[in-house]
Structures are given as structure tokens and as C-alpha cells.
């Protein structure tokens, strides 16, 4: 074999060896599904009023709102809301990482670090809760922590009005009360 043929054979073997070597390229990310991909409409800096028979029950806001199903389902990220009583007075405030409002059912579902605070200092923390505008009812079957001056409740499942005054617990895990005054005889 002459020198030219040897160099050609060497070059071919080198190229084949290089082609068979596994090389790590840049990572290819899996395409994540985004709400923006499937929503009918996107609105930034939105604010909605939830009413029941002409009464304002809540104002809800989101930095980004995604509309689905002919605008009957709205996903708000993050969720900020204000509840109102039947006479229009401020009842409570809700915040969450996400809220889903169904306009047909009049239901708002909040998820992700949900916090409901009342005007008198009560604070409810839960991973998920629902607000039914027709009943003015907040409920959940998730775990929760309810704090107020002098009392803490931990449990699973609750029902309450928006100002956290009428609070019903499904399963109580623990409770802590402050000083209880006993009546004198």
C-alpha cells in the first residue's frame, strides 16, 4: 500500500471512530405545557367583581388571567381578593398563588399558599379552598391552620363565612387556647 492509500485509510478510520464516539450536546428541554398555549384569551392586570343578585360579594384580581371555555373559566395568577358582606361591608381578604373562577357556577377555587384574613385579626392558612358566592361560604377538605389572638386551630376540612366568624371544623388535629376567664361564684 502506498503512502496516499495509508493516509486515506487512516483518515477514514479516524472519522468512523469519531462518528461512533458519544458526545453530550446541550440538554434539550422537554416542552412544558403552558396555560398561554391553550387559553382563549390572556389579560394582564385584571380585576373582576363577583355579584349575587346585584350584591357585590367579592372583588378578585390577578396579575395574569387566562380565559377558557368561552370565558366561563378564568385562571388568575396570583390571586388577590376582597370579600364583602350582604350589606356591602368589607368581610375578608384572600391571597393565593392561583385562583380559578367559574362564572357559570359562581365558584372561586384558590390554591397554593392560600391565606384568608378577617378584619378582626383572624388568619386562615390552607393549601386549597373554595368560595361559593351564592352561600357566601369558604370551605375545604384540605389541612388548615386557623389563628386568632389567643387561639390556634389545626385540622382537616372546614366551612366558614368570609369573615371567619362562623367556623366549623371537620376533623380537629390540635388546638391551643389562651387564658380562659372563669366566672366568679
Q: What is the pLDDT of residues 15-66, one digit of tens each?
A: 666 666 566 666 666 666 677 778 889 999 999 888 878 888 889 999 999 9
Q: What's the grid cell of residue 97?
A: 398563588
Query: How far from the centroid of its chain's Cα atoms is residue 34's Cα?
Result: 15
64-102 burial, b at 16+ Cβ within 10 Å, e below that, comes to: bbbbbeeeebbbbebbbbbbbbeeeeebbebbbebbbbe
- Dihedral class, residue 139 (left if φ above 0, else alpha if ψ from -120 to 50, else beta): beta
Q: Where are the domains of the chain?
A: 35-137
- What is 35-137's CATH topology? lipopolysaccharide transport protein A fold (2.60.450)
Mean pLDDT in residue range 77-87: 90
Amino acid at each position: 500500500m502506498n503512502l496516499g492509500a495509508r493516509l486515506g485509510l487512516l483518515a477514514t478510520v479516524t472519522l468512523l471512530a469519531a462518528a461512533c464516539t458519544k458526545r453530550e450536546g446541550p440538554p434539550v428541554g422537554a416542552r412544558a405545557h403552558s396555560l398561554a398555549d391553550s387559553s382563549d384569551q390572556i389579560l394582564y392586570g385584571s380585576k373582576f367583581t363577583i355579584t349575587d343578585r346585584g350584591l357585590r360579594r367579592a372583588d378578585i384580581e390577578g396579575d395574569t388571567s387566562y380565559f377558557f371555555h368561552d370565558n366561563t373559566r378564568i385562571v388568575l395568577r396570583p390571586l388577590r381578593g376582597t370579600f364583602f358582606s350582604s350589606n356591602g361591608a368589607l368581610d375578608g381578604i384572600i391571597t393565593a398563588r392561583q385562583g380559578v373562577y367559574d362564572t357559570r357556577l359562581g365558584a372561586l377555587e384558590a390554591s397554593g399558599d392560600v391565606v384568608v384574613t378577617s378584619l378582626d385579626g383572624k388568619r386562615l392558612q390552607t393549601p386549597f379552598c373554595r368560595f361559593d358566592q351564592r352561600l357566601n361560604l369558604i370551605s375545604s377538605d384540605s389541612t388548615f391552620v386557623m389563628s386568632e389572638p389567643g387561639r390556634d386551630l389545626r385540622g382537616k376540612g372546614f366551612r366558614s363565612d368570609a369573615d371567619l366568624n362562623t367556623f366549623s371544623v371537620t376533623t380537629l388535629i390540635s388546638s391551643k387556647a389562651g387564658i380562659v376567664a372563669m366566672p366568679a361564684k
